[in-house]
Amino acid sequence: MAKSKLDFETRIPRLGTPKIPSPLTHFRHVDESVPVTLMLTSGELNELDTDILKKKFEKGGPREKLYFDPSKTKCAIVTCGGLCPGINDVIRSIVNEANYHYGIRTVLGITNGLRGFIPDYGYDIKELTPESVSNIHQFGGTILSSSRGLQDPEVIADSLERLNVNILFVIGGDGAMRAARSIVDEVSRRKRKVSIIGIPKTIDNDINFITRSFGFDTAVEKAAEAIRCAHVEATGVDHGVGLVKLMGREAGFIATQASLAMQEVNFLLVPEQRFTLDGEGGLLNALERRLRERGHAVIVCAEGAGQDLLGGPLERDPSGNPKLGDICGHIITGLKDHCRKQDIEMNIKFIDPSYLIRSVPANAGDRVYCGFLGQNAVHAAMAGKTGMVVTRLKSSMVHLPLELVTTKRRTINVNSEFWFSAMESTGQMEYLK
């Protein structure tokens, strides 16, 4: 893979010099940083320019001096894009950290995503308190509701001024992080001292430099349950085929991790690995052989897999993402035709658990991580940082500039041990060429 040409700058923008003593008397940090080389895997390092290797990441955590005076600070939280387990945990953690540990009195919840800033849609701002968020982590989804698509950064900046917000926390995916950057630019153009902190959310686990996004483990747990059901269905009837569609527009992490968890998947299809339907080494022949030899098969297919097989130019949705073609429908039709022609019985059961995966509450591991994300987002903002995201690399929380995470998508390296293990587990390399 070509070395990254990214102009990688780990210094996080700051609003000014922090001067107010922090109320957090324990474990205060001066700005600390750790070498990039300690934070990335050797695989990731191979993809980077050697210049970058000399840089350092800024560590997360509370600072000795604050930029904002807690007694006068007003925060806002907005949640954008699709649902993902753990959003409410992040909200709760931000509210609790701001209130209990810094003594901030006001945290606003902007509803319906970025459009909550736009007067045309009507405002519905909620005041969030430790009491009002005390149980929200028990529920999936987002108590603030969400929306897709971008909104005019000028109108958003107007609203931030009108609401008198000093700190904005943006929980969202790729699009939301790009929107956050445009808001940073706009408030900076206006010379307003507003800190914009991103908490990256992607159930697909495909944000660059983010090795594990929150909610991913929970999603894999539920995806694995769906695979179990597909296996039961496939073996519950003669020549049964269980086909599970999982999330993964450009990266098949959920599909692959869930397949590794269950070890009952015979064909794993992801966007990163091409395959064909027809011909000797194609999926249809492979399935036929498997049905003849073993009597059943389980297929796991990421939604973005095999898009090249569908033909035609892709449409785009309001956020600019390409609309994916229906690869599972294509496989089902192809398989039915094939089996009819070959005169072989086949009973396919199609399972699409997507909404059942993304709308559940987070599991314990994700909850811990969401707690860290919320705490560190508040620490960073109070120290006057902006235009950055909080995330975990290795076992440390770090600050990354917004640029870094929005440049490209993370995908599965099909030459890695991870993918190799999945291939060993499915055994599909003997069938698919």
Range 195-254, binding its own copies (CB under 8 A): 211, 217, 220-221, 223-226, 228-230, 232-233, 235-238, 240, 242
Residue 209 near residue 400, CB atoms below 8 Å: yes
383: DSSP letter: T
Q: Please give the Cα distance from 27 to 228 (Å, whole number).
A: 45
Closer to its own copies by Cβ: residue 121 or 330: 121
Question: Per CB under 8 A, does 425 bind its own copies?
Answer: yes
Instruction: Figure out which of the listed residues 71, 138, 333, 342 binds its own copies, where binding follows CB under 8 A.
Output: 138
Closer to its own copies by Cβ: residue 157 or 224: 224
Strand partners, 43: none
Q: Please give the Cα distance from 188 to 124 (Å, whole number).
A: 26
- Catalytic residue, candidates 31, 51, 152, 204: 204
Q: Least separation, in Å, of the C-beta of 367 and its own copies?
A: 4
Q: Least separation, in Å, of the C-beta of 363 and its own copies?
A: 6
Question: Per CB under 8 A, does 396 bind its own copies?
Answer: yes
Q: Please give the Cα distance from 344 to 190 (Å, whole number).
A: 69
326 has catalytic annotation: no
- Helical ranges in 243-363 per DSSP H: 253-262, 283-294, 327-341, 354-358
Pull the structure tokens for residue 4.
Answer: 């990254």
Residue window 153-182: x/- pattern of binding to its own copies, with contact defined by CB under 8 A: ------------------------------
Question: Per CB under 8 A, does 123 bind its own copies?
Answer: no
Q: Please give the Cα distance from 268 to 305 (Å, whole number).
A: 10
Range 69-98, binding its own copies (CB under 8 A): 83, 92-93, 96-97
Q: Please give the Cα distance from 240 to 166 (Å, whole number).
A: 58
Strand partners, 110: 78
Residue window 48-67: x/- pattern of binding to its own copies, with contact defined by CB under 8 A: ------------xx------
Question: Per CB under 8 A, does 415 bind its own copies?
Answer: yes
User: How many residues line the site for its own copies (CB under 8 A)?
Assistant: 87
Instruction: Figure out which of the listed residues 12, 372, 398, 412 binds its own copies, where binding follows CB under 8 A.
Output: 372
Instruction: Figure out which of the listed residues 4, 363, 407, 413 binds its own copies, where binding follows CB under 8 A.
Output: 363
Stretch that binds its own copies, among 172-180, 269-277, 302-310, 394-402 (CB under 8 A): 394-402
Question: Per CB under 8 A, does 324 bind its own copies?
Answer: no
Nearest to 74 by CA among 150, 161, 199: 161
Complete edge-to-edge strand list for the sheet that includes strand 33-35: 33-35, 56-59, 396-401, 388-393, 195-200, 167-172, 74-79, 106-110, 126-128
The residues annotated with a catalytic role in the active site are: 204
